[in-house]
Chain A
């Protein structure tokens, strides 16, 4: 690791101010993406601004219509939170199959969404549930947030403060884990919204990061059941191919994971 200056602000305002002073600053949350990269010397920020302990960024709130998870809430706290389990159990499940215990004790929802790793789990939930990404500056709808591999609508110094998920009628997540990293080899989040809208998002599959899967949405709109997907053909165009899976394998996984997610959603 290159040497760096570590800061621990106690508010979002202070964090943003510190960010403004650094020559090449970075926010740090759970550190499970940033620190490995720094250890390998692939990143060498001048300043590391730790936002994980800012009280205003931690916690979960639920209303009749929405579940709001503040950005620095850890996976561990999310998966054990009673409101999460009650309102959107699919999120609790998604979190329980994310990484390993060490990752879950430290990693945060804000860090995950800000990173937008093409194989990360949360982006699928954010997109399928049509969540709103709240920052210190604005509110960004899911459809406008993810901009391709590791790219988001966030500006340099912008901090995600919370993610607000509309509570759906039904939702489910199924994930085929990458055998090495345990990220999603392909994961699919299905949601039936109270409005009747069906949104399905796949992660780990596309070369452009998390994506909606139109053919599956249509089939489920006609018939919300796993068997409705039996003969759906998902195209492998634009899907990733690597040592862990070919693109046709991933296309198959999108369908199979969607079926299992529907089963889980009930």
Chain B
């Protein structure tokens, strides 16, 4: 309704602040008497700490205190937790190695904090950190999955023999074995999903401020979910009870998952603030971000897909080793299990699936959710497998997919997920048309004549978003419920504040959430403001990740709005002496249908707060809240087609076109959706062509700066052709599915399938650097 309602490409309200440099990030906040923290970090991937000498550092100018890992353990600050319990095949619980916020005895990855200097300035803290003398006894390191599971490998944690976190399975192994037994064709494949460094534009930061009079802490932090941070800090880390801890996540410059987790630095800042009696600020730099932000992906998999003689899929068998790094980060355990293996059915009708996932400790930075979290790994594996199958079976890749698409909904896959709705043919058709698939052979021939290798690759992805039904995730081991809360406050003058537990760190909630209200009431979005990111303002919330803010967060707002509207209608009916059932809301007015009688929203609000003339027994005020717990995941899906050229002389890839057709259900703000798709695609392309976190044998991160870690730049990516098909999600009142992760999930397989098509060699791992592609051309 209205030009700023649902479906309108309204310009983002928050952008004025961001593009004029008026954003307020954690590092912009200054507190009187604030001190600065600098961490002393391990240069070794695996070592025993024989001793730490802090005396020289303590004597340096401007140093307030130097604190060590042993002290934080002595003070009984809790070890970091992993919030999703996964059980191995044999029923045993996952093996948790102890992770204190600073290492007292053993360091297990390069960059792990062992001590912290608190000083009067950032530079003085850094100076003194260089004077802390740590005597290490180096231990052999296991720097990757292969090294960690090899016989005789260095052991990281006494709790985890063989460096195995868990050995988990899903699906019906017997049914799969039987299906393979009668298969006409089997396609098999081994592949790596490369490790990525999230690299949000704003590095992590925290300010902890302890008030000794009130015994109260305030934590300003770069978080995607401040309430979850407060919950974990209170319930598990012994920092303070919840009512004595306020967590504020102000403007946050991107997260991509990496800012979901509660990190050691925040815990140390809180603990240190109480110890030194002053506020403590820590602002990470880019090097610290590379070494300590949770990384993403890092799988090694073997997969086999069985077909019958008509090229119908019969069964899928997958074994995946997932690298968790040195410790289990907050949500890490769920990523290669319930966010990965449950999506391995893709868009296809696969009667039987069996997957084993072996979680492995290595002497590397912890790995956790990163944009897409598990689903990109599933899509990449399956879509490369399907493309490989098409080549092996000598059938058109689009036709092979079409033949196996799920067309009836709801559809129960063999791996938990019940797809509610979709139309996979529609998005594939639209993509084929947009990509001019029919004209591709001619274009390929022309390119060949010009000395270029041209290829085309598909990726038909599905993902599970709107995370997630609390009861369902609870039964799968989640430590929290994944509902969302909202409060709608109508002020006496009729302006509106929406308090939400979702957190915006680039998504544009201040605009889209306001659009929902504008749509329902027919008022301009500038009369609505969105309040989020402060546990003192918003009662509770689960935060933003897993493309959940529209599907879950906005659904909570929807529910609260319904309650507000119901009460407002009662007041309007009373004022207009009409019956409640005759009141409709239009253009900010409450009207009696079929008459010219109406009362404007501000007058209704004023009546609610003056309370001079309300219906008998009605409480004053106009404010309602709601909790929304989703009934199912949502299932965004789409078809991506990538066409590119490879320069045989250099192995360099150049895009010709990239078509993305997504079904996100209803679009609230198509411009913002398109922006989300672009960002996701760039991250997917980044993974496919450029990004790679490489460790050497000793566990040193070789790609620890942008000089070696290739982030995609604007000229690395094409101008995208983005469009949409629409099946409305039946699971939530808005019919939305979520759009934040799709691009990152679907893009990489399309790119690699296109390159391997171009060069005629399927043996190619991500990132497909020019060097690797050139070698693959010459090995073909």
Interface residues of A (CB under 8 A from B): 1-3, 40-41, 100, 176, 179-181, 185, 243-246, 249, 252-253, 256, 259
Contacts and interface: CB of A to CB of B under 8 A. Distances in A.
A180 B709 contact: yes
B690 interface: yes
Given A1-B123, A181-B707, A181-B708, A246 B771 contact: yes
B694 interface: yes
A243 B649 contact: no
A253 B287 contact: no
Contacts of B709: 180
A243 B700 CA distance: 14
Interface residues of B, number: 28
Given A3-B123, A176-B650, A256-B649, A244 B771 contact: yes
Contacts of A41: 126, 130
Given A1-B123, A256-B649, A179 B774 contact: no
Nearest to A39: B285
Contacts of B651: 249
B694 A243 contact: yes
B416 interface: no
A243 B769 CA distance: 10
A180 B774 contact: no
Q: Count chain B CB atoms within 10 A of each CB in A176, A179, A246, A253 and give the residue with the most.
A: A179
B650 A179 contact: no
User: Which 4 pairs, one residue from A and one from B, show the smallest C-beta to C-beta distance?
Assistant: A180-B710, A256-B649, A179-B710, A245-B771
A243 B708 contact: yes
A125 to B, nearest CB: 21
A13 B291 CA distance: 45
Contacts of B652: 176
A40 B287 contact: yes
A113 B287 CA distance: 28
Nearest to A179: B710
B707 to A, nearest CB: 4
Contacts of B710: 179-180
Contacts of A249: 651, 770-771, 774-775
Given A179-B716, A180-B707, 5 more contacts: A176-B650, A179-B710, A180-B703, A181-B706, A181-B708
Contacts of A1: 123
Contacts of B59: none
Q: Count chain B CB atoms within 10 A of each CB in A1, A181, A244, A249 and give the residue with the most.
A: A249
A176 B706 contact: no
Contacts of A253: 650
B618 interface: no
A180 B771 contact: no
Nearest to A40: B287
Contacts of B150: none
Contacts of B123: 1, 3
A179 B707 contact: no
Interface in B645-696: 649-652, 689-690, 692, 694
Contacts of A180: 690, 703, 706-711
B775 A243 contact: no
B702 interface: yes
Nearest to B692: A243
B774 A252 contact: yes
A40 B287 CA distance: 9
Contacts of A245: 769-771
A252 B694 CA distance: 24
Contacts of B130: 41
18 contacts: A1-B123, A41-B130, A100-B713, A176-B770, A179-B769, A179-B770, A180-B690, A180-B703, A180-B707, A180-B708, A180-B711, A245-B769, A249-B771, A249-B775, A252-B649, A252-B774, A253-B650, A256-B650
B769 A244 contact: yes
Interface string B757-774: 000000000000111001
B709 to A, nearest CB: 6
